[in-house]
Structure 1
Amino acid sequence: MSYFTTPSRVIITCHKRLAPYLEQEVKDLGFDIEEAFVTGLRIKATINECIKLNLNLYCASQVLYSLGSFTANHPDDVYRFLIQMPWEDIIAGEGYFSVTSNVQNPTINNSMFANLRVKDAIVDRFRDKKGTRPTTGSDLIGAVIHLFWKNDSAEIFIDTSGDSLARHGYRKIPGRAPMLEALASATILASRWDRNSTFINPMCGSGTLAIEAALIATNSRPGLFRDNFAFMHVLGYDQEIYYAEQDKLEEQIREVPGLRIIATDYSNVAIANAKKNAIAAGVSELIDFECCDFAETEVPKENKGVFFINPEYGDRLGEIAELEETYARIGDFMKQKCGGYFGYVFTGNLDLAKKIGLKAKRRIEFYTSTIDCRLLEYELYEGTRREFNPPAAPLA
């Protein structure tokens, strides 16, 4: 049996609260959603179809292809089930594999022990059938096997991704407290930006939001920036399938005449780093970078789109007092300079957000690291109240 052409349960994971945006992405790629949950969704697909998913998704973390489910009350149950599986048909005898897991079982107080039992089963199977064994390690550079085990229910997967898809691969200089690329993409997809009008990003830091906006506008997918996925190390992999999907990525990139993405920061170092990241992402010519206070950011009067800012949240009392003034200035700037735009403030401090002095039209829930966050949407009227453009069309 070839797993590359045989459909199975596929779980696509994502960070908390990104599932609605991941679900829309997967639907836009032509897949039917069987189930959606807080940190991902389930579809049916082959590993060849998982190649497409890995290359295209902005909001995903891992794409997991199920090899089977079973009942396990003890680590030895995991071992007994897995040693019966034909690992010699999945992993090359001279290859390399890693084991990851998500375990919630009373017999396990260290997930590394569960990983070890999975590794032992695979290695012992190889020794029995082949007289040799592949090498193993923690680096996700080869085949990756994933164990999900909750209470007495367990499932074993081929992780077709390897390193998390949530890091898109172009960011060489992360800067201070950078926003995860998948989170940045999701917040943009949650906005009403039409991917043709102006995108303004003050306090841009390492440039993640501006770069993700440029990638989404031009339909440039994260698979363009990565050349190693775990599916490449599974027996039966056909690189021609991968090359064909890569060609599609290149073909679907679109030009956006007149698109302006403006990114500013008061730090020369941040701007320098953001420019380097934009070059690595291939979108530097689409972003106008400038070093200045956010209140000096250019706001074009034509082709009005969105103003998108991610200010600091503050950890210490002195910072909070200073940030109260900053948030108030953000509100003043949006009111005075951004009429006709939609304003977005991404923050993990709702008390500070009150200092903006505007009523949010929407409060969209997100989560970053250990912080409960909101993307606050403000409709910034100019003159008489009017309706803004409808939400952006689905990804192509």
Structure 2
Amino acid sequence: MAFELFKESSRIIVTCNKRIAPYLEQEIKDLGYSPEGAYPTRIELMGTMQDCIRLNLNLRCASQVHFSLRQLRAKNGDELYRGLEEIPWEDIIPNEGYFSVTCNVDTPSINNTMFVNVKVKDAIVDRIRHKTGTRPNSGPNMDKAAVYLYWKDDEAEVFIDTSGETLSKHGYRKIPGKAPMLEALVAATLYATKWDKASPFVNPMCGSGTIAVEAALMATQRKPGLFRRNYSFMHFVGFEIGNYHREFQKLKDQVKEVPNLVIHATDISEDAVNVTKVNAEIAGVSEYIKTKKCDFADTYVPEEGGGVVYFNPEYGERLGEIDELEATYKRVGDFLKQQCKGYTGYIFTGNLDLAKKIGLRASKRIEFYNAKIDCRLLEYELYAGTRDKDKLLKAES
């Protein structure tokens, strides 16, 4: 009897960047799933390929969705090859299709990941050619079927990479701008804030607009799957386009409009403001984002308060000079103290020495990574009343 990939249930591993896992786990729970394990860079659960389709379309914080095919024991490349060749690949990958292979290898007998990639590819191709007389092509492109191998010591596990190209890019950002944060990271930081998705959201120094756009997408329940039309799961034997269309329709049906939502995004660069407009238009949320070219200190902050002011200033690792940035961070602190009373302020930075120049005591320091840079999302309660003035002005020591 033929192996039917889309009717099997197996272990699903949803990966993410470091320090994002708690927010990814909550997303998965919000979809109605019960994760069986949570780790620094992955969440594990049980499900089917249909569940993988749903996860791919809905998750903001994920990188890849992996569906386990088989666990193997292998001490070297030959043993790995033999174990992989036993899998019925002819029932999984179209015999005249295309597939790519990625690996994560930590075993004493291997010092070259490319060698493992070739072993996996050869096992798949040889099995399909032996069973069907034809063979699929393979290469580095991640736009068709994708296979992932995890191999540590003498234990290996082979997965269907149901995502292919990473989910951490949400598909609407055609012009990224300078030193952009990945969309998945931005989404996680927004989940970490106190924003209620209805009150004012103010984003000075908006750059390419990723923070403002992701905020609008969250508020209107627009999921990343709305902006992407190709996933690895579409290129395996047994995929039925109708199952995807049903999940896609659910995304469209859950979109809601928020008539009173206003997100203020400003930047001193006219190019940045224009890029923000383009990205917001592509994402379908331009009506919610008011842009303005100005110095951040001239950003309009609605008087009603109760919302969020979110800064992502340069922090000296990629752009700008430290001396200039010290003055900028001090001005950011002055802006928060003087013009944002009644709001909750957030500053995402990878330079805690510069953060000291803000002159406010953070109520929370939430840990993240931006690429390999150790970062913090600093939270500031900007009290509206005079009773907390002394507490508000107390500088970091």
Alignment TM class, shorter chain as reference = over 0.9
Match of 1:89 among 83, 88, 91: 91
Match of 2:321 among 319, 344, 348: 319
CA distance in 1 between partners of 2:320 and 2:306 (Å): 36
Residue 70 of structure 1 and its aligned partner are, at CA, apart by 1.3
Residue 255 of structure 1 and its aligned partner are, at CA, apart by 1.3
CA distance in 2 between partners of 1:5 and 1:84 (Å): 20
Matched, 1:202 2:209: no
> Unaligned 5+ residue runs, structure 1?
387-396
* SS in structure 2 at match of 1:257: coil
Residue 376 of structure 1 and its aligned partner are, at CA, apart by 0.2
* SS in structure 1 at match of 2:5: coil
Task: Please list, as runs of the form range in 1=range in 2, the aligned pairs for 1:1-396 lying within 5 A after superposition.
Answer: 1-302=3-304, 304-315=306-317, 319-384=321-386
Letter in 1 for 2:114: M
1:150-194 CA distances to partner (integer Å, 9 max, x unpaired)?
122110000000000000011001110001000000000000000
Q: Does structure 1 conserve the Cα–Cα contact (< 8 Å) formed by 2:125 and 2:135?
A: yes
CA distance in 2 between partners of 1:242 and 1:135 (Å): 25
**Larger CA deviation: 95-104 vs 215-224:** 95-104
1:259-310 CA distances to partner (integer Å, 9 max, x unpaired)?
1101000000111111111111111111001110000000001253000000
Q: Does structure 1 conserve the Cα–Cα contact (< 8 Å) formed by 2:361 and 2:380?
A: yes
CA distance in 2 between partners of 1:253 and 1:385 (Å): 41
CA distance in 1 between partners of 2:319 and 2:87 (Å): 57
What RMSD over aligned residues (CA atoms) do the two structures have, in Å?
1.3
**Larger CA deviation: 309-318 vs 326-335:** 309-318
Residue 319 of structure 1 and its aligned partner are, at CA, apart by 0.9
Residue 2 of structure 1 and its aligned partner are, at CA, apart by 2.4
Letter in 2 for 1:109: N
CA distance in 1 between partners of 2:52 and 2:326 (Å): 46
Residue 126 of structure 1 and its aligned partner are, at CA, apart by 1.2
Letter in 2 for 1:277: N
1:325-372 CA distances to partner (integer Å, 9 max, x unpaired)?
100001110000000000000000000000001000000000011100
CA distance in 1 between partners of 2:360 and 2:129 (Å): 67
**Larger CA deviation: 66-75 vs 216-225:** 66-75
Letter in 1 for 2:281: I
The structure 1 segments of at least 4 consecutive aligned residues displaced by more than 6 Å after TM superposition are none
Q: Does structure 1 conserve the Cα–Cα contact (< 8 Å) formed by 2:305 and 2:341?
A: no
Letter in 2 for 1:99: V
* SS in structure 1 at match of 2:274: helix
Q: Does structure 1 conserve the Cα–Cα contact (< 8 Å) formed by 2:305 and 2:343?
A: no
CA distance in 2 between partners of 1:138 and 1:263 (Å): 38
> Unaligned 5+ residue runs, structure 2?
389-397
The TM-score, its normalising length taken from structure 1, stands at 0.96
Residue 108 of structure 1 and its aligned partner are, at CA, apart by 2.1
**Larger CA deviation: 42-51 vs 296-305:** 296-305
Residue 36 of structure 1 and its aligned partner are, at CA, apart by 0.4
Identity %: 60
Classify 1:259/1:46 alpha carbon distance in 2 versus 1 (closer, same or farther; 3 Å).
Answer: same
